[in-house]
Structure 1
């Protein structure tokens, strides 16, 4: 059985490893990475890097490589590839499963402001922060953790930004920006120190879910820092969803006759 995993996430790497454990049903695994990160963490098994060229390209690849099942284990905000996967699976007549880690939920003491897009997040910043306090920037200081893509939405914002990403971002971006190149998982102690050292007024994040980057939310809660949370897009209609690696592995093994 040949399984194509559209990956790049912690869960996709864990699933690729799980499907190739000794004693498991015979499964050939190919993981496809978008190639947006210069030095990605490679999963077990076969790996291809780069896009497919849209729905038609993905259908062609699935057919040419005799793919028996497709798993969309991309980032929860990789909306385009998710919809392409749904259309390609229907066209090629292969089963599709979406592996999505659960989203974050606010806890007692959180000051969350949920928005639908990065553009709305940028507009929301004007009413937040503590810029009125002595020694503070008049517009506040923002810790932006939405990745290097999409910074154009904040390009006209007057706030000071700390942008954290794996690879260096490119313009357009806010005029007052400091870039921090780093890769999770992050620790609570480290996030506390980061917020304090940079006098952060507001945290902006996408609802990516998972534990690797969640400590920033607790650090913000403890510091009384408001959090602007961009809601994740929905999974394409009709696509089955697994929320854990174990559930996804069981789905594959059931089809492989384990």
Structure 2
């Protein structure tokens, strides 16, 4: 049985770790190639796009894929729709592995935005020194905010266009609460901007902002394909896969 994981996330790597070495299972993880030095999962890995939904469907057929798991980032909306179209075309079962989104708690001062452009429009009324944690893509949405200062954190260096008053911090999570507290203090940040990525690796910035009474602009997740079953963690993805393919896959303790 051949399983293709559309990955690049922590959950995708964890799923590959759980499945690696399963008798009777061939495993391939696909990475988009947007990060220069990604953390590679075990098993076969391919890097790069497929050429849209049609290209992915052809790849599924050519490589005799028996099940497809979309474990891409919650904001990789285009890829998720391509996966749904390709799976339907190639008649391959599809599962979406999506970490739950963040939920505000008492003390949070969240301002929701439907897009990066909407987030940029909110900033002049909220503060002057912005901690921008939306990644290196999409900085053009903030390029016209010449009166604001930005601290941009990303894994790889951003490409222009981007805000003229900007400092770049190249770093990769997971991050700690103490570290995020110190970062906000040292750079005199007064607004945090984030996508609703969910998960624990980058959540400490939300707690640090809450403690400081600081507003947080949260960009909502894009729409996802309808009709695709969703599970919130790799363990349940393994169980779905076992039922789907009729394989005995054992979850071993860490």
- CA distance in structure 2 between the partners assigned to 1:67 and 1:90 by the alignment: 13
| CA offset digits 1:180-203 (Å, max 9, x no partner) | 000000000000000000000100
- Cα shift at 1:254: 1.3
- Structure 1, gaps ≥5 residues long: 130-139
For residue 175 of structure 2, what is the aligned residue in structure 1? 186
For the 8 Å contact 1:82–1:235, the answer to whether it is kept is yes
For residue 20 of structure 1, what is the aligned residue in structure 2? 20
Q: 3-state DSSP class of the match of 1:74?
A: coil
For residue 62 of structure 1, what is the aligned residue in structure 2? 60
Structure-2-length-normalised TM-score: 0.95
- CA distance in structure 1 between the partners assigned to 2:81 and 2:51 by the alignment: 13
For residue 156 of structure 1, what is the aligned residue in structure 2? 144
For residue 9 of structure 1, what is the aligned residue in structure 2? 9
- CA distance in structure 2 between the partners assigned to 1:119 and 1:9 by the alignment: 25
Q: 3-state DSSP class of the match of 1:57?
A: helix
For residue 31 of structure 2, what is the aligned residue in structure 1? 33
- CA distance in structure 2 between the partners assigned to 1:124 and 1:165 by the alignment: 22
- CA distance in structure 2 between the partners assigned to 1:82 and 1:216 by the alignment: 27
- Cα shift at 1:25: 5.0
- CA distance in structure 1 between the partners assigned to 2:224 and 2:17 by the alignment: 24
- Cα shift at 1:162: 0.1
Q: 3-state DSSP class of the match of 1:218?
A: helix
Q: 3-state DSSP class of the match of 2:130?
A: strand
What pairs with 1:167-182 in structure 2 (closer than 5 Å)?
A: 167-182=156-171
The more displaced of 12-21 and 36-45 is: 12-21
Q: 3-state DSSP class of the match of 2:214?
A: coil
Q: 3-state DSSP class of the match of 1:113?
A: strand
- CA distance in structure 2 between the partners assigned to 1:255 and 1:243 by the alignment: 17
Q: 3-state DSSP class of the match of 2:164?
A: coil
- CA distance in structure 2 between the partners assigned to 1:178 and 1:237 by the alignment: 40
Q: 3-state DSSP class of the match of 1:59?
A: helix
- Cα shift at 1:27: 1.6
For the 8 Å contact 1:6–1:32, the answer to whether it is kept is yes
What pairs with 1:1-258 in structure 2 (closer than 5 Å)?
A: 1-20=1-20, 24=22, 26-129=24-127, 140-157=128-145, 158-257=147-246, 258=248
- CA distance in structure 1 between the partners assigned to 2:63 and 2:121 by the alignment: 46
Q: CA RMSD in A?
A: 0.8
- CA distance in structure 2 between the partners assigned to 1:98 and 1:43 by the alignment: 18
- CA distance in structure 2 between the partners assigned to 1:214 and 1:43 by the alignment: 23
- Cα shift at 1:20: 2.0
